[in-house]
Amino acid sequence: MNVYDSSRIADMLQNLGYEEAASVNQADLVIFNTCHIREKAAEKVFSDLGRLYNLKQERLAQTGQDMIIGLAGCVVQAEDEQIAKRAPYVDFATGPLTYYRIPELLAKIERQRGISLIDTDFPAIDKFDYLPDNHAHGGCSYLAIQEGCNNFCTYCVVPYTRGAEFSRPVEAVIAEAKRLVADGTLEINLLGQNVNSYHGEDAAGHERDLAYLLRRLSEIDGLERLRYTTSYPADVNEDLIACHRDLPKLMPYLHLPVQSGSDRILKAMNRRHNRDDYMRIIDKLKDANPNIGLSSDFIVGFPGETDQDFQATLDMVNYVKYIQAFSFKYSRRPGTPAAVYENQVEEKVKKERLEILQNLLFSYQLRFNKDSIGKTMPVLFDMKGRHKGQLIGRTPYMQNLHAELGKEYLNKIVSVKITEANTNSLSGIAEGL
Ligand code: SF4
């Protein structure tokens, strides 16, 4: 979602006449789009801001040119007082729901240079109505269909920083998707903090779910691939599972975070699913599409997590055999209920558990990648490689793949025979060109 927000901010600035600077030293405006989900990410913002402020001072002394420093995203929403205290030189700061007002903030700064502006309201209006059109920047595009979350998992800041759930109307999403496809997009990744709780209104005023939206989108000519992220297990309904059986454009890959394999911990996390519910959904998805690959997020060392609870998480991994995953040590986030739980797990234990979990996850990821050798897969190439004559793309399973290919194949789907694989990427040879 942050990558998507950053690209929308860039689109807005382009409309104001800004161009991307070759380096930060040459920039007249720098905006940090920030993440508050983990303590480390939030702290990094303040150290990066300090470095940038020094650079701004040097630039001013050497060339007389000023630099506007802006802050966007969830750190602003959660830490507005800290920003005013720790980085008073920030020219403006805007939360994730109000960044559409950046042009207005910039205009004000130009008028009243030196006054810091912090803008973190939860607006009553839909920010998407105020953003410029989302343009394709290549073969893959993000399309935000839902924002915010009502789940209040006890470790998570999202409901406080992104606000309550909001779904965009069906026709607005379809129109944006058509525009992206006309611009050259082949793959659309539908975004939302809790994307499968989507409940946008259709033209007749009826509430429609994600399955309906996926079926409508898959009818768009020229759109080849659909994905959606991030999903919440309790909101996976039968219709959504059926989409994985019925829609060839829906990629056979799903990120469905479970967080923990222990019922006791899931309850303490305030997740609305237990271990059995999650396993039942996985079984149904695999019945609907036996080729589906799954990925998940995991938190180890949540307050009160015992060795048995952790073992239950490892058992879950062995059951599902995830093909990719994101795993983290629990991080106390100010303002969330779990941050003040007394039974916090020692850092050393968290570290050990994370290592054990990641070794297991990586072993399944490597096995899946190695099993891909010899197979031919359609790969959407959307980046130049490090070497000349090399492109990087994604398989249907979100595996990174390198191949020797000319840039005329950039933003195209090409059949590739997989020849090599390691944990994080594949190599292959294009076929049938
Ligand atoms: S469902 Fe996801 S975004 Fe919502 S509170 Fe839980 S972890 Fe955070």
Q: What is the CATH number of the domain that holds 109?
A: 3.40.50.12160
Q: Are residues 144 and 109 in the same domain?
A: no
Nearest ligand 1 atom to the CA of 259 is 7
Count the neighbouring beta carbons within 10 Å of the beta carbon of residue 299: 26
- Per-residue pLDDT tens, the chain, 433 aa: give them: 888 889 888 888 887 778 889 899 889 899 999 988 878 877 888 899 999 999 999 988 888 888 999 999 888 888 888 888 888 889 989 888 888 888 888 877 876 665 456 666 666 556 676 666 777 778 999 999 998 899 999 999 888 888 889 999 999 999 999 999 999 999 999 999 999 999 999 999 999 999 999 999 999 999 999 999 999 999 999 999 999 999 999 999 999 999 999 999 999 999 999 999 999 999 999 999 999 999 999 999 999 999 999 999 999 999 999 999 999 999 998 888 999 999 999 999 999 999 999 999 999 999 999 999 999 999 999 999 888 899 999 999 999 999 999 999 999 999 999 999 999 999 999 998 8
What residue has token string 């109307």?
Answer: 169
- Give pLDDT, residue 405: 95
Residue 251 belongs to domain with CATH number: 3.80.30.20
- Give pLDDT, residue 119: 65
State the pairing for strand pair 117-119/200-201: unpaired
CA distance 407 to 81: 48
Q: Are residues 361 and 381 in the same domain?
A: no
3-state helix, strand, coil in the chain (%, to 5): 40, 20, 35
Q: Which of 331, 350, 371 is the last residue of a domain?
A: 371
Which of 38, 77, 157, 194 for a ligand 1 pocket mutation test, highest count of atoms within 8 Å of Cβ? 194
Asked whether 159 lines ligand 1 (CB < 6 A), one says yes
Asked whether 158 lines ligand 1 (CB < 6 A), one says yes
CA distance 111 to 99: 19
What residue has token string 């979990």?
Answer: 357
Q: Which two tokens stand for residue 32?
A: 């940090």
Q: Are residues 190 and 96 in the same domain?
A: no
Three-state secondary-structure class, residue 393: strand
The residue among 249, 266, 256, 260 whose CA lies nearest residue 293 is 256
Ligand 1 centroid distance, CA of 292 (Å) = 24
Q: Are residues 9 and 104 in the same domain?
A: yes
Q: Are residues 222 and 75 in the same domain?
A: no
CA distance 129 to 405: 40
| The one-letter amino acid at 416 | V
CA distances from 305 to 157, 186, 263, 308, 360 (A): 20, 43, 11, 8, 19
Asked whether 266 lines ligand 1 (CB < 6 A), one says no
Direct distance between the N- and C-terminal alpha carbons of the chain, in angstroms, rounded to an integer = 35
Residue 395 belongs to domain with CATH number: 2.40.50.140
Q: Are residues 154 and 29 in the same domain?
A: no
> H helices within 289-394, ranges in order?
307-320, 347-371
Q: Are residues 364 and 389 in the same domain?
A: no
Q: Are residues 106 and 141 in the same domain?
A: no
Count the neighbouring beta carbons within 10 Å of the beta carbon of residue 378: 14
Q: Are residues 363 and 390 in the same domain?
A: no
Establish how many alpha carbons lie within 13 A of residue 147's alpha carbon, considering only the half-sphere containing its beta carbon.
Answer: 22
Burial zone of 108 (CB within 10 Å; 0-12 exposed, 13-18 middle, 19+ buried):
middle
Q: Are residues 55 and 175 in the same domain?
A: no
Which of 36, 162, 191, 232 for a ligand 1 pocket mutation test, highest count of atoms within 8 Å of Cβ? 232
* H or E segment and range at residue 413: strand 412-421
DSSP state of 181: H
Contact 380, 413 (CB under 8 A): yes
Q: Which two tokens stand for residue 254?
A: 């799903």
- Give pLDDT, residue 161: 82
Q: Which two tokens stand for residue 171?
A: 């026709």
Q: Which domain holds residue 202?
A: 127-371
- Give pLDDT, residue 115: 47
| The one-letter amino acid at 379 | V
Task: Show Cβ contacts of residue 392 under 8 Å, excluding neighbours closer than 6 positions.
Answer: 381, 382, 383, 384, 385, 400, 401, 402
Radius of gyration in angstroms for the set of CA atoms belonging to the chain, rounded to a whole number? 23
Domain tally, the chain: 3
CA distance 79 to 433: 53
Asked whether 157 lines ligand 1 (CB < 6 A), one says no
- Give pLDDT, residue 327: 96
Count the neighbouring beta carbons within 10 Å of the beta carbon of residue 88: 9
Asked whether 94 lines ligand 1 (CB < 6 A), one says no
What are the contacts of 348-351 at 24+ separation with CB within 8 A? Answer: 349/301, 350/300, 350/301
Task: Show Cβ contacts of residue 277 under 8 Å, excluding neighbours closer than 6 positions.
Answer: 233, 234
Q: Are residues 241 and 344 in the same domain?
A: yes
Contact 46, 87 (CB under 8 A): yes
Angle between the N-to-C axes of helices 347-371 and 307-320, in degrees from 0 to 180, rounded to the nearest 10: 10
Q: Are residues 34 and 156 in the same domain?
A: no
Q: Which of 119, 149, 181 is the last residue of a domain?
A: 119
Q: Which of 119, 153, 183 is the last residue of a domain?
A: 119
Which of 151, 236, 265 for a ligand 1 pocket mutation test, highest count of atoms within 8 Å of Cβ? 151
E strands of 89-210, at which residues?
Answer: 92-94, 117-119, 140-144, 146-147, 166-167, 187-191, 200-201, 207-208
CA distance 286 to 290: 5
| The one-letter amino acid at 74 | C
Contact 95, 120 (CB under 8 A): yes
Q: Which two tokens stand for residue 345?
A: 């797990």
- Give pLDDT, residue 125: 58
